[in-house]
Amino acid sequence: MKGCVIGAAVFASVILNPVAAKPSEFVAIADIAPSIQKDIRYFGRDNFVGTAIDGYLAPKCLLHQDAAKALAKVQKKALQQGMTLKVFDCYRPQRAVDHFVRWVSDTSAQDTKAHYYPNLDKGVLLGDYIAAKSGHSRGATVDLTLVDMASGEELDMGSAFDMFDPISNTDDPRINAQQRKNRYLLRDLMTAQGFAPYAMEWWHFSLKPQPYPDTYFDFVVR
């Protein structure tokens, strides 16, 4: 979930005046590629914080139009292979990132440890996994997986979305051959349309070049 972030060294810095206005170039993926499935985890409680996240007022996937159009091309190729994309998170308001930082700073909140970071101390999540700025807030980063259309099941990727653990690294040696094949299928579909992967998280991709490389937005998802 985190990739393309500024790490622990800047955790103490204050993000001043994040951009609160929604640019006209941001669109809902449902309007561009309605067959893409959605499971927007931060709208509800099924996430590593265990509660709805600040800034998510609707279970929508919003993206800059360039990223949305590129993702629609990925979906077309996936459908040709009997698959569909399922998105977990797209544009993420800065206030949601702030919510994550507050959570990781509260070491007493450990309710989700067994599912999301069973092998790590919460304190080490700051940096590679959770940081004060996220590429998602720029509007061209997406977290997603593949679903087999015949079975309706997500492909086995060897770890769950937002599993904070080295096993979520795309090339972790512990995953089996089929899980690696599934990860590479997703990676290859995404990179073919201009998305760059994040090696620590098999589900995380960012469009290159970024339409807003230096801007972090804070308008709510509604």
Active site residues: 201
Residue 204 in marked binding region: yes
Please indicate if the annotation marks 99 as binding a ligand.
no
- Preceding peptide of 209 cis, ω within 30°: yes
Angle at which helices 65-80 and 177-191 pack, to 10 degrees?
130
Q: Tell me if 218 is assigned to a ligand binding site.
A: no
Q: Tell me which amino acid residue 187 is.
A: R
**H helix runs in the chain, sequence order:** 29-32, 65-80, 94-105, 113-116, 177-191
CA–CA distance, 19 with 218 (Å, rounded to integer): 6
- Cα angle 11, 211, 97 (rounded to 5 degrees) comes to 30
Q: Which residues are annotated as a binding site?
A: 136, 143, 204
Q: Which residues are annotated as a binding site for Zn(2+)?
A: 136, 143, 204
